Amino acid sequence: MRPPLRVWGVVGFLILLHFGLHVSLGLGESAPDLLVVALLLAAREVHIGQGAALGFFLGVLDDAFSVLAFGANTFAMTLVGMGGARTRDLFVGDSLLFLTSYLVLGKWMRDFLHWVAVGQDLRESFVDTMLIQSPISAAYAGVVGLAVIAVSGLGWETIR
Amino acid sequence: MPNYKSNHNGSGRARSGLISLGFFVLSVVTLYLPDSSQDEVASLLRGSLLRPFILAQEGLVRRSIHAEDTEDLQRQLDSLEVVIANSNTLAEENDRLRRLLTLSNRNPAQYVAASVIRSGTPGSESMFMLDVGTRSGVTRDSPVIMGRGLLGVVREAQANSATAMDWTHPQFAVSAMTVDGAVYGIARATPGRFREADRLLLNGVPFRQELGPGVSLVTSGLGGVYPRGIPIGVVIEESAAEEGWQRSYWLQPFVSPGEATHANVLVPDDGEPRDVSAWLEGGPTLPGRAPAPDEGAAGTRDTEAPTSR
């Protein structure tokens, strides 16, 4: 199975846009987590090994700016890449509901894994992080992910 | 999403599974790498793949600094001129007293102006980058100072850039004292419920010594990282977290990391050790509060360290 060139094109564009918004413009939390959107979209098109590799690569890039817990993003993104690729075998579907749930849960899971990996000393409270902040950013990523799907056509074959 | 195609054969699926397992193990290894290796990997990525984004932010930060309100800058310049004019008398008086005491002149501290760059990615909340590095004299543990006080410390320095942590970092700690040097303690970052609520907690104050709200604290110079006399913050209230015969106090730092766009890095002068007591010399150093005449004299007296004659 070879993912179409369009997938890698969209992934590359989202990576550039993510660091452009977060680093170059310094928008921080105001900008959506486009790395996880890119990973989740690509993971549905590739093998589990490629999903893990892409997640690892994106996680290391994210960790380049992390002093608090280097490796936590890598760990979280690798597992999300694996999980995203695995959903291809478990769930067959591309309905709007499925894609929304996939993107939102994927982002929430990435935040949860990061929260677990970040270590007890640096970990903020579960309620604040995972039940308040993360659902908001997951919904944000979900909306942006759907917009990317609508524009790029990825994962939209049967809905159009 | 393309329709599901099960085009994996058994060996392909097993190979893919092994690859994913390999990356999973690698991600766990990354998590437990020694700090030095983690810093190397991070700086390699920041200096290569991510460099264009950092350069773009540097450019934008410089532009925004240049676009500052000129009236505001003029006001700051006027204030500084007044401070300098007032300092001249004190400097002259200090020189005369030094001569009377046969003390040698001390070397002034050297500063490098730098732009503060924040990455805004998850996990990087307490760190920032500077656009100056070892070529400008910046080294690991160089203190980073904003106009009103201590912002943080350099963690890692490359040729033309440096990575630093601000006072909200969990590993940040600084030896603090009152301006008159009567009370000492260790100020550490304490996370708040939200990041905006992060504060410093002053630990290790002997039980017999009390600090009232509003007392200003400066760096003590103990430990050799931070020069003596850099303003840190002001006491808000006593903390309930007392340990034995010690008191703890909540501090409101003078500098808010979020507002930092430009900072000064204190660098050693040609490899010579820093003058660790120059900060308290000659004039008001604490933001929004001029020292009383007797306090200023006491502060100067306490900071005087005999040098070679």
> What number is the ipTM of this complex?
0.89
Percent of chain B surpassing pLDDT 90:
14
pLDDT at residue B270 above 90? no
B73-118: pLDDT as tens digits: 777 788 888 888 777 788 888 888 888 888 776 666 688 888 888 8
Find the CB nearest A70 among B26, B42, B169.
B42
Q: What are phi and psi of B130, to 5 degrees?
A: -120, 150
List of chain A residues with pLDDT < 70: 1-3, 67-68, 93, 155-160
Q: Cβ contact (<8 Å) for B57 and A59?
A: no
The secondary structure of residue B133, as a DSSP letter, is -
Q: Which chain B residue lies closest to A160 (C-alpha atoms)?
A: B1
Compute CA A49 distance to the chain's CA centroid, rounded to the nearest angstrom. Answer: 16
Find the CB nearest A70 among B8, B38, B61.
B38
Cβ–Cβ contact A151 with B under 8 A: no
Closest CA to B232 of B255, B206, B211: B255
Greatest alpha-carbon span in chain B? 91
Q: How far is B43 from chain A (nearest CA, A)?
A: 7
Q: How far is A123 from chain B (nearest CA, A)?
A: 10
Interface of B with A in 64-123 (CB under 8 A): 117-123
Burial class (CB in 10 A: 0-12, 13-18, 19+), B243: exposed
Cβ–Cβ contact B188 with A under 8 A: no
In the numeric block, which tokens belong to residue B43? 């700086």
Task: Please report which confidence band the pLDDT of residue B196 belongs to, taking 50, 70 and 90 as the band edges.
Answer: low
Q: Which chain A residue lies closest to B58 (C-alpha atoms)?
A: A24
In the numeric block, which tokens belong to residue B42? 């991070």
Question: What residues of chain A lie within 8 A of the CB of B36, using their CB?
Answer: none
Contact of B201 with B250, CB cutoff 8 Å = yes
